[in-house]
Amino acid sequence: MIELRRYVKEVSQGEHDVVDIARKALASAKSIDKEHAYFNTFADERFIEEANAKPKGRLAGVAISVKDCVCVKGVESTAGSDILRGYKPLFDATAVERVWKQGGMIIGKTSQDEFGFGGFSVNIGKGYRVPKNPFDTNRSCGGSSGGAAGMTRKAEFPHLAIGESTGGSITCPAAFCGVVGFCPTYGRVSRWGLIDYANSLDKIGSMAKNVRDAALLIEVMAGSDPQDSTCSDLPVEQFSTVDGDIKGLRVGIIKEAFGEGVDPAVAESVKNATRELEAKGAIIKEISLPLNAKYGIPTYYLIAMCEASTNLAKYGGMRYGAHEKLEGDFNTYFTKVRTAHFGDEAKRRLMLGTFARMAGYRDAYYLRALKLRSALIDEYKSAFKGVDVLASPTMPMVAPTFDEISKLTPLQNYMADILTVGPNVAGLPHISVPVSPAHRMPVGIQLVADHFKESTLVRTGVNLE
């Protein structure tokens, strides 16, 4: 397959029939989708129109798949939920608009856990299909950006994916599908046009077959946005082209990430990768993050569920979301609509979040979790005084089978996120890079850097490819 940057350059010089490539790419994506269920919606008309427009820019002629929770003008955008079925935004999300202005062509909306509620892409909304792992269709492709990761792996045409992460929804599926998943610092990419899960945690990121391509997509999407008050106005570095020299780079191996509950084969694969970094001049040392290991999961889920409960309250069948025949009082109607159109996991998280932010419980749960988040950030900041980047397995296991997932309790499902929630709670940039496989399935190493140090992740990650 042609190297993406070379292809973009040749498209800009008029050396390719972009319309013909687009038609073949669309046909290929639909063929893959039949078996693997990576798309909720295709943007056929828009995709071909953009190809006909002779695209130019840093992504000229590249097919861009967009996670279903990111709005695309005129294309059904539902965050994988039946309650939003039929919603076609009248605008592009800021990230999508910036990609389009640089010649990227939107091919469709990829499948996900409903509103991002899951780590295996099995908590899909009512009426949607479960995406399947590109290496073994009996296994999960990870979540919640499962369709984005699977399509990134299977695409044989120039392709990049826009993903989104709240607690690991970019790096988890990237690890399970053997691709690069890049989650930037919170605030690096505008959230305007993102269908919220948890406002203080959500981040738009990228997936690609290699580190520099994933970084390029982040660069294009990043930058200040007056429509998003949480978006940083710091200048965006050209980190996709940063030098790959890692001599003297200090890499901290997170001690707790290799303990009980982590598949030994996965742990060994990641340790071998850190030895490769050491052979190239990096300085390896062990780092302990006991607070994150103990409190990362409860802190994340309390904050995320409370914010989800607030964000999704508007989908009550009157102003927003699906609606039914108006009858009965408000509570009866509100309950009827949400019961009919939300899936089981969405209902579970909404109930837990609503409970934790009720009068009498808010101080004991939500506010306490916010205080804990500050302590977890402080622990990371302390670690970064002695190292430049932190390393751990992305996930504690390889992609599980659907049968294995069906036997997990809700708590066991949540605990699978134990290695990914920390950097998400802290808003730190992180990336999953494929390393040597285990059990004949992909394994990812997760690299975490200090806020706005995406260049450090690229510099480190390119040495593992």
Task: Spell out the domains of the chain, with CATH numbers in brackets.
Answer: 4-241 (3.90.1300.10)
Between strands 250-254 and 203-208, the pairing is: unpaired
Of the candidates 436, 434, 457, 431, the residue with the CA atom closest to the CA atom of residue 446: 431
Rounded to the nearest 10 degrees, how much is the dihedral formed by the CA atoms of 408, 414, 415, 417? 120
Known active-site residue 144: yes
Alpha-carbon distances of 278 from 283, 305, 431, 457, rounded to whole Å? 6, 40, 19, 16
Counting as low any pLDDT under 50, the low residues of the chain are none
CA atoms of 197 and 116, how far apart (whole Å): 7
User: Among 145, 169, 392, 455, which one carries the catalytic annotation?
Assistant: 169
What would the two tokens of residue 203 be?
A: 């981040």
Task: Give the pLDDT confidence score for residue 325 in this predicted structure.
Answer: 87
Tell me which amino acid residue 31 is: S
Alpha-carbon distances of 160 from 94, 108, 275, 370, rounded to whole Å? 17, 12, 30, 34
- Helix (H) or strand (E) holding 392, with range, is strand 389-393
Known active-site residue 169: yes
Q: Please state the separation of Cα 21 from the chain's center in Å.
A: 27
Tell me which amino acid residue 402 is: F
* CB count in 10 Å sphere of residue 426: 23
Q: What digits encode the pLDDT tens for the residues 105-121?
A: 999 999 999 999 999 99
Tell me which amino acid residue 287 is: I
CA atoms of 30 and 281, how far apart (whole Å): 45
* CB count in 10 Å sphere of residue 399: 29
Task: Give the pLDDT confidence score for residue 245 in this predicted structure.
Answer: 97
What would the two tokens of residue 193 be?
A: 């046009």
Q: Are 412 and 240 in contact (CB under 8 A)?
A: no
User: Among 67, 132, 154, 453, which one carries the catalytic annotation?
Assistant: 67
Length of the chain in terms of residues written: 465
First to last CA, the chain: 17
User: 285: burial class by Cβ within 10 Å (0-12, 13-18, 19+)?
Assistant: exposed
Known active-site residue 436: no
pTM: 0.97
What would the two tokens of residue 314 be?
A: 């508007």
User: Among 144, 145, 240, 269, which one carries the catalytic annotation?
Assistant: 144
